[in-house]
Amino acid sequence: MRIILVRHGETRWNREHRIQGLADLDLNETGRKQAQALAEALRNERVSAIYTSPLRRAMDTAAAIARYHPVEMTVLDGLKELDAGEVDGMTYDEMRENHADFLVKWLEDCSSIRVPGGCTLQELQDQVWSAIDHIRSRHEVDEDQAVQERSIVVVAHFFPILSILCKALSLDLSQCRRLRLGLASICTLDFNSDRIVLVSMNDTCHLKQLG
């Protein structure tokens, strides 16, 4: 089974470099163009289902992709972004002013600390991996069926996708900041019977046309 992980397009807070957790923002104009570019990039994929976080920026991105694929689009709460609690909507300068101790520890090892009023990365990873297990159980295929014949698109957010990649590659969550994940990027994982294979990582070639 192939799972295509898609990060949503740009929002106003992404442009302003604000922490964006469960705050429910729409895509901005750039984000809508990115979503369309994603849709074009995935247009020829053999997609059997599309799953999305319930947050609007992800749902709008998924809806753009779904226009080219007459398949079920399912909303899963487990794909939501990290609960950023009290720092949701803050810039890094505002975090330094209001949550300096937390920010220092977060930059040292984001996997070892709870976001003020929010959750931990471990809790998030448990949440999103449960969603991935649910998706896999719904779309199991026979072992003799080629992996490439069925692709599942999963539209989510920065930390959920990083958490999935770390789990899939047996990386400690503390290593997640070593992985680059741009807006409107694509990562692809093949779930084989004996192992998970990373096929592509942070693919943003489809955005070059946008400048």
Q: Catalytic residue positions?
A: 8, 81
Would you tell me how many other CB atoms lie within 10 Å of the CB of residue 69?
A: 19
Alpha carbon distance 163, 144 (integer Å) = 29
Please answer whether residues 61 and 184 qualify as being in contact, where contact means their C-beta atoms are separated by less than 8 angstroms: yes
Rounded Cα gap, residues 154 and 1, in angstroms = 13
Q: How far apart are CA 7 and CA 185, in angstroms?
A: 5
For residues 78 and 136, the answer to whether their CB atoms sit within 8 Å is no
Closest CA to 79 of 54, 49, 48, 110: 54
Judge whether 40 and 6 are in contact, CB under 8 Å: no
Compute CA distances 131 → 86, 106, 154, 160, whole Å. 25, 25, 10, 10
Structure tokens at 111: 């996997």
Strand-pair partners of 196: 191
